[in-house]
Amino acid sequence: MRSFLNSKRSIIITILIVGLCFILTQCMDNGRRSHEISTENLKFNQFAGSITCAKCHKEIYDSFITTGHFSTSEIANENSIKGTFQKGSNIFHYSPALYVSMEKSDSGLYQVEYSNDVRTIFRRFDITIGSGTRGQTYLSWDRDGSLNQLPISYLTSANTWANSPGDQNHVYFDRPINSRCMECHSTYAEIIPFRLQGSPEQFNQKEIFYGIGCEKCHGPGKMHVEFQTQNPDAKVGKYIINPANFSRQQSLDLCSLCHGGRIKPIKPTFTFQSGNRLKDDFIVDTLNNGSIDVHGNQYGLLAKSKCFQLSGMTCLSCHNPHDDERQNLALYSERCMTCHNPQHGDICKMTGKIANISSNCIDCHMPEQTSKSIVLQLQNRNIPTAQLLRTHFITVYPDATKKFLSKR
C-alpha cells in the first residue's frame, strides 16, 4: 500500500511539474511574441506603406519604385494605363457590328461596348494589373465591392489593345477577380469577411496597398516605423523582417508565393507572410512540373535545372529585388559567370567561338518561349497571340543557340 501511495504521489508531482513547465513556456512564448510581428489575421492598420520607408531608406526606395514588382498594380489613370485613348486607335472590333471603345469622360476612363453603334454596357478602368513591360489588364469595381476583369487588355509588344486572356472573341465584363489574384498583385487587400455563398469575394476599396511594396517581403512595418522613430539611435531594426537572413527554403518559399505555379490556399488569403513555410499555408501541386508554363511557375522551372540542383542558388542569386534589372542580359550573365568560369572548371563550350560570350548567356540558355496561359486575341487576327516570356529552365537550347549565332 505504501509503495502504491508513493507511486501515486510521484505521478501527481510529475504532472504538476510538467504543467508548470508548460505554463512557464507559454508565458515565455507570449513574451517573445509581444516583440515580434504577428503573421496571423493581418490588418490594414499594421502596414505603414512603402512611401514611409523612403524616410530612412531613400536610395533603396528610389530604385525599387522603378521595378516591375512595385507597379504590378496601381489605381488606373492616364499615366498608369499604357494603351491610348486617342480617337482612331482606341477601338477593338470583335466584329463589324460589335466593338469596345476606350473612352474618357469627366467621371473617369471607361471601356464601352457598342452593338450596331448603340452603347450597351460600360465599365470604368479602376485598377491596372501589370507594369506594362509585357502588357496590362484592367479591373473594375462593382457596386458590392467585388472586382471584375475588363474585356480589353494591352499588349506592349504590339503597342495595341487586345482581347483579355481567355476572352477570345467574346465581350466579357463580369469575370470575377478573387483574393488570390490580389495576393500576387498587391501588398495587402482587406477582404470583407461575410458574403453570400457562391457570390464573388468583396474588398474594402479604401484598405489596399497596391503593387508589391516593401512590406510584401519585409512584413508589416507600422511597429517598426514607430519604434525607429522613437529610438532614432537604435542600431538594430526591430519589428521588421530581413529576408537576407532567410534559409534557402524560406527565400524560395517567399518567391514561390507568386512564382510557384498552382498552389491551393488552405488558410485565408494574405495569411502567408515572409519567412513562413509555403506548405503550411498552401497545398503545392508538384504534378504541374510535368508541363510547366513559362508564366507563373518560374520556381518550378528553375528547380528542374542542374544549376539549381547542384548548387545552393535561390532566386536572389540572380535577381536583386530592389533594382530594375529587366533586359540587362549582361548583368545576369555576369552572375552566371560566378559559377561558370575557368576557376570552377565549368565554362560554356562556345567560349572561344563567340566574342564577348560572357555578355549574354541568357538568350541561349534561358530563351523566350510562348506562354500557354497568357494568350491574347489581337484585332483582325484569326490566331491568338501568345505572350513571349523568358523560361527559367536553364539548359542547352540548340535552336536558340542557332538563332543567337545567326544574329551575330
Mean pLDDT, rounded, for 236-261 = 95
Instruction: Tell me what pLDDT residue 168 has.
Output: 61
Mean pLDDT, rounded, for 319-333 = 94
Instruction: Tell me what pLDDT residue 128 has.
Output: 98
In a domain, 65, yes or no: no
In a domain, 385, yes or no: yes
CB 92 within 8 A of CB 152: yes
Q: Would you place residue 13 in the very low, low, confident or very high pLDDT band (cuts 50, 70, 90)?
A: very low
Is the pLDDT higher at 382 or at 18?
382
Q: Would you place residue 27 in the very low, low, confident or very high pLDDT band (cuts 50, 70, 90)?
A: very low
Mean pLDDT, rounded, for 221-229 = 96
- How many domains, in total, are found in the chain? 1
Which among 146, 145, 141 has a CA at the least distance from the CA of 126?
141
In a domain, 77, yes or no: no
In a domain, 275, yes or no: yes
Share of the chain above pLDDT 70, in %: 85
Q: What radius of gyration, in Å, describes the C-alpha atoms of the chain?
A: 26
Instruction: Tell me what pLDDT residue 221 has.
Output: 96
Mean pLDDT, rounded, for 271-292 = 82
Instruction: Tell me what pLDDT residue 22 has.
Output: 41
Q: Would you place residue 305 in the very low, low, confident or very high pLDDT band (cuts 50, 70, 90)?
A: very high
Average pLDDT, the chain: 86
Which among 335, 396, 405, 376 has a CA at the least distance from the CA of 155?
376
Instruction: Tell me what pLDDT residue 386 has.
Output: 81
Res. 399: pLDDT tops 80: yes
Q: Would you place residue 378 in the very low, low, confident or very high pLDDT band (cuts 50, 70, 90)?
A: confident
Residues contacting 141, CB < 8 A, separation 6+? 124, 126, 127, 147, 205
Q: Would you place residue 344 in the very low, low, confident or very high pLDDT band (cuts 50, 70, 90)?
A: confident
Res. 217: pLDDT tops 60: yes
Q: Would you place residue 66 in the very low, low, confident or very high pLDDT band (cuts 50, 70, 90)?
A: very high
Query: Each residue of 84-121: pLDDT tens digit?
Result: 999 999 999 998 999 999 999 999 999 999 999 999 99
Mean pLDDT, rounded, for 342-369 = 80
Instruction: Tell me what pLDDT residue 288 has.
Output: 53
Per the structure, the complete domain to which residue 398 belongs is given by 248-408
In a domain, 399, yes or no: yes
Q: Would you place residue 23 in the very low, low, confident or very high pLDDT band (cuts 50, 70, 90)?
A: very low
Instruction: Tell me what pLDDT residue 379 has.
Output: 80
Asked which of 40-54, 200-214, 220-234 is least confident by mean pLDDT, the reply is 40-54
The count of other CB atoms within 10 Å of the CB of residue 116 is: 8
Instruction: Tell me what pLDDT residue 4 has.
Output: 43
Share of the chain above pLDDT 90, in %: 65
Mean pLDDT, rounded, for 50-75 = 97
In a domain, 362, yes or no: yes
Res. 368: pLDDT tops 80: yes
Res. 25: pLDDT tops 50: no
Residue 209 β-bridge partners: 188
Asked which of 151-160, 337-346, 396-405 is least confident by mean pLDDT, the reply is 337-346
User: Could you give the CA distance from residue 347 to residue 278 in angstroms, rounded to a whole number?
Assistant: 35
Burial of 197 (0-12, 13-18, 19+ CB in 10 A): exposed
Residue 92 β-bridge partners: 100
In a domain, 228, yes or no: no
Instruction: Tell me what pLDDT residue 367 has.
Output: 95
Of 160-169, 198-207, 240-249, highest mean pLDDT: 240-249
Mean pLDDT, rounded, for 294-323 = 94
CB 302 within 8 A of CB 394: yes
In a domain, 374, yes or no: yes
